Amino acid sequence: MIYRKQERYLYGFVEGKDDPCFYRHLIEKDLPKQWSIKLIPSGSRDKVLRTYQSFDWNNYSSTRICFFVDRDMHDFLSTPFEARSNIYVTDGYSIENSILEDERLLNSVLSDIYQIDLLNPDDDNKIKQIVQENKDIFFEAILPLMGQVLLWRRLGSKANLSNLKLDHIFSFSEAIFVSNTRNVLLEVASRQIGCALCDDNYLVAAEGEIRSYAKLIVRGKYVLWFFIKQCEAIWEAIPKLLSRFSDKPKKRTECGLNNAMVIVAPRARIPESLKEFVEQNYLAFINVRNNVSVQPNNSNVSDS
């Protein structure tokens, strides 16, 4: 319905309803200004992959139409997946995980939204140190939950991870992340998600698998929660953290989980793996299209 062969559009299929906002901002920064991308949420990873299988690639360009799926925990599961050149798999659990890898993004949000800007090098380093220490504590604290999530996936349990309210478990005090005990985390998660906890021996083993993995396997929505709450906590505590602030600056707009993507996406930096994917697919298609367009008698050339 939306496909326009002759127009300067690129197309992509993503998983969730929030993904188009994030991916579009990341990708369009690298596109020529005359081009734009249309992204279609499919509902799940399996639906994205089934959509790929439904195409007749003799009639469509595989570099113009791409697919974007989360790595999730599939590297730990018996779900073989044959890679395709126009299917992008995130580096970490999901695309939101790239948020915490970009120090510039934190500074941008603090400056643009919370008006915490023009920091001298000492102040900047103090903020960075607080955030890094909080990140380390957060990822260590949430690891038991991710181990339990892995076991639920292996058991086929219907765990709705969106039901978990991290505000009921974690908090910040004067910008410092406050963890909770392992047992409290797991008990609250089990109750809110609606799945029984596994035997602790299996859980410890699953935690070990995740800990030893090369990539960060923490659910992207939990990473986004940490990022937004960290920014808010720094703003709340800024008069105590930095002496040049006598009071909290006035926020330019409210920033919470409901509008986090709208705040973060335009300021995020594209992950290197996604940048390479865009170059090998979308930009390659545009280059071929541009070269074809200057050739004579080319009106019948197909996308492929």
250 with 288, same domain? no
Judge whether 130 and 175 are in contact, CB under 8 Å.
yes
What does the block give as tokens for 21?
Answer: 């906002």
Q: Could you tell me the CA-to-CA distances from 237 to 114, 127, 141, 231, 253 in Å, in that order?
A: 12, 11, 23, 10, 18
* 216 or 254, greater pLDDT: 254
Print burial letters for 222-253: b (CB count within 10 Å at least 16), e (below 16): bbbbbbbbbbbbbbbbbeebbeebeeeeeeee
- Crossing angle of helices 200-211 and 121-155, rounded to 10°: 130
* Pairing assessment for the beta strands 171-173 and 87-89 based on DSSP bridges: unpaired
107 with 254, same domain? yes
What is the average pLDDT value for the chain, to the nearest integer? 91
* 77 or 282, greater pLDDT: 282
pLDDT above 60 (res 14): yes
How many domains does the chain contain in total? Answer: 2
253 with 285, same domain? no
Q: How confident is the model at residue 61 (pLDDT cuts 50, 70, 90)?
A: very high
81 with 116, same domain? no
Average pLDDT of span 169-182:
96
Domain of 26, in residue numbers? 9-90+271-293
What pLDDT is recorded for position 277? 97
pLDDT above 60 (res 300): no
255 with 205, same domain? yes
Judge whether 241 and 126 are in contact, CB under 8 Å.
yes
In degrees and rounded to multiples of 5, residue 178 shows phi and psi of -110, 115
pLDDT above 60 (res 77): yes
Q: Is residue 168 part of a domain?
A: yes
**Burial grade of 74 (CB within 10 A; 0-12, 13-18, 19 or more):** middle
Q: How confident is the model at residue 130 (pLDDT cuts 50, 70, 90)?
A: very high
Q: Is residue 104 part of a domain?
A: yes
102 with 24, same domain? no
pLDDT above 90 (res 2): no
What pLDDT is recorded for position 16? 92
34 with 124, same domain? no
Long-range (24+ apart) CB contacts under 8 A made by 203-209 are: 203/144, 203/147, 203/148, 203/151, 204/147, 206/147, 206/148, 206/150, 206/151, 207/143, 207/144, 207/146, 207/147, 209/76, 209/147, 209/150
What pLDDT is recorded for position 80? 65
Q: Is residue 279 part of a domain?
A: yes
pLDDT above 50 (res 299): no
126 with 241, same domain? yes
**Which pLDDT tens digit goes with each residue over 186-226?**
999 999 999 999 999 999 999 999 999 877 789 999 999 99
Neighbours of 30 (CB within 10 A): 14
39 with 74, same domain? yes
99 with 204, same domain? yes
pLDDT above 80 (res 272): yes
Q: Is residue 154 part of a domain?
A: yes
Average pLDDT of span 71-76:
91
200 with 71, same domain? no
263 with 282, same domain? no
pLDDT above 90 (res 78): no
pLDDT above 80 (res 94): yes
Average pLDDT of span 278-299:
77
Q: How confident is the model at residue 292 (pLDDT cuts 50, 70, 90)?
A: low
pLDDT above 60 (res 154): yes
Residues 6+ apart with CB under 8 A from 215: 71, 75, 91, 92
